[in-house]
Amino acid sequence: MNDNQLIEQLKKIVEPYVQNQEAFQKINTSTSFIEDLQINSAHLVDVILDIEDEFNIRIENEEMEQMINVENSLKIIQSKI
């Protein structure tokens, strides 16, 4: 699965939690979940759990810590699928 396909899947996961639709439309590898998409921090763990479900993977706490933007999330997902 290439980065573009992964980003499309990631977009579907984060969409329900996004508060900045303009940034969401321009989502790319440097997009930050908190700063750009303005996802409420209380929903970040929901995003992580949704990623686990979607890709059938398990994300450890040390990995979760790094998943604050699209780029880091793609790296961690890629390493597990």
**8 is an interface residue for another protein by CB under 8 A:** no
**56 is an interface residue for another protein by CB under 8 A:** no
State the residue for tokens 């209380």: 42
State the minimum distance, in angstroms, from the CB of residue 1 to another protein: 23
User: How many CB atoms are closer than 10 A to CB 8?
Assistant: 11
Helix, strand, coil shares of the chain, percent, nearest 5, are 60, 0, 40
Count of positions on this chain that bind another protein (CB under 8 A): 20
Q: Residues 14 to 53: which contact another protein by CB under 8 A?
A: 32, 34-35, 40-46, 48-49, 52
